[in-house]
Amino acid sequence: MNSQHSPHCRGCKQRVYELLGAIYGECQTNRQFPWSAAPEAYADSAIGNPLQRIRDALGNLRGHRDFIRSAQMPPCDYFITDPPFIVEFDENQHFSRPRLVTLANYPGEIAVGFSKPRWQELCRQLDARDDQPFDRDERRAWYDTLRDLLPAVHGFKPTARLYAEQTAWCALDAKNPADLAIFGQSIGAER
């Protein structure tokens, strides 16, 4: 394990990249997609009404309604090209009341690549708060929602999410078959 391991371990993020590459081949980091961040752009799609409902629920939570500050969905942590899917590496700040609100409003017919009940429980347990700026939690929850729901519209497999503190990811070795199997189970490598 990296002797510098911490809740924000850079080694863990690098090792996740290496593990994804070992399993899937090409892995890109910070991939940007030209997908609108506005729910109105998806009005005629299966996620149009759910996105509007989620935006309204987020706005009603604390009264912060102007939290969509980017025209496009911000870059994702990791992108696998074949089969196409996004992987997000969620540190504690992703588990907030606003995120719990978004998850509660996800449509049941759209698959996600992580345990929604587990993420909801982590939101309740960790109850992260980041009020710099004042609506940061709403922004983060909204952009996480986009990374979860928009890929389906574009023919991607469901977004996988890893909880940063689930394990010391930096301790895994991308050349060790046992470690690859452990990691593969964490992200649902049967994709």
Cβ-proximal residues to 43 (8 Å cutoff; 6+ apart), any chain: 52
Q: How crowded is the C-beta side of 97, counted as CA atoms within 13 Å? A: 10
- For residue range 137-159, list pLDDT tens digits in order: 999 999 999 999 999 999 999 99
CA atoms of 153 and 25, how far apart (whole Å)? 24
pTM of the model: 0.93
pLDDT in tens, the chain (191 residues): 445 677 788 999 999 999 999 999 999 999 999 999 999 999 999 999 999 999 999 999 999 999 999 999 999 999 999 999 999 999 999 999 999 999 999 998 889 999 999 999 999 999 999 988 999 999 999 999 999 999 999 999 999 999 999 999 999 999 999 999 999 999 875 44
> Of 119, 117, 121, 141, which is closest to residue 129 (Cα–Cα)?
141
10 Å CB burial of residue 184 (0-12, 13-18, 19+) is: middle
> Of 114, 143, 134, which is closest to residue 36 (Cα–Cα)?
143
Based on its alpha-carbon atoms, the radius of gyration of the chain, rounded to whole angstroms, reads 16
- For residue range 31-63, list pLDDT tens digits in order: 999 999 999 999 999 999 999 999 999 999 999
DSSP state string for the chain: --TT--TT-HHHHHHHHHHHHHHHS-EEES-----BSSGGGGTTSTTHHHHHHHHHHHHHHHS-------SBPPPPSEEEETTEEEEEEE-GGG-BHHHHHHHHTS-TTS--BS-HHHHHHHHHHH-B---SSTTHHHHHHHHHHHHHHHHHHTTPPPPEEEETTSS-GGG--TT-HHHHHHHHHHHTTT-
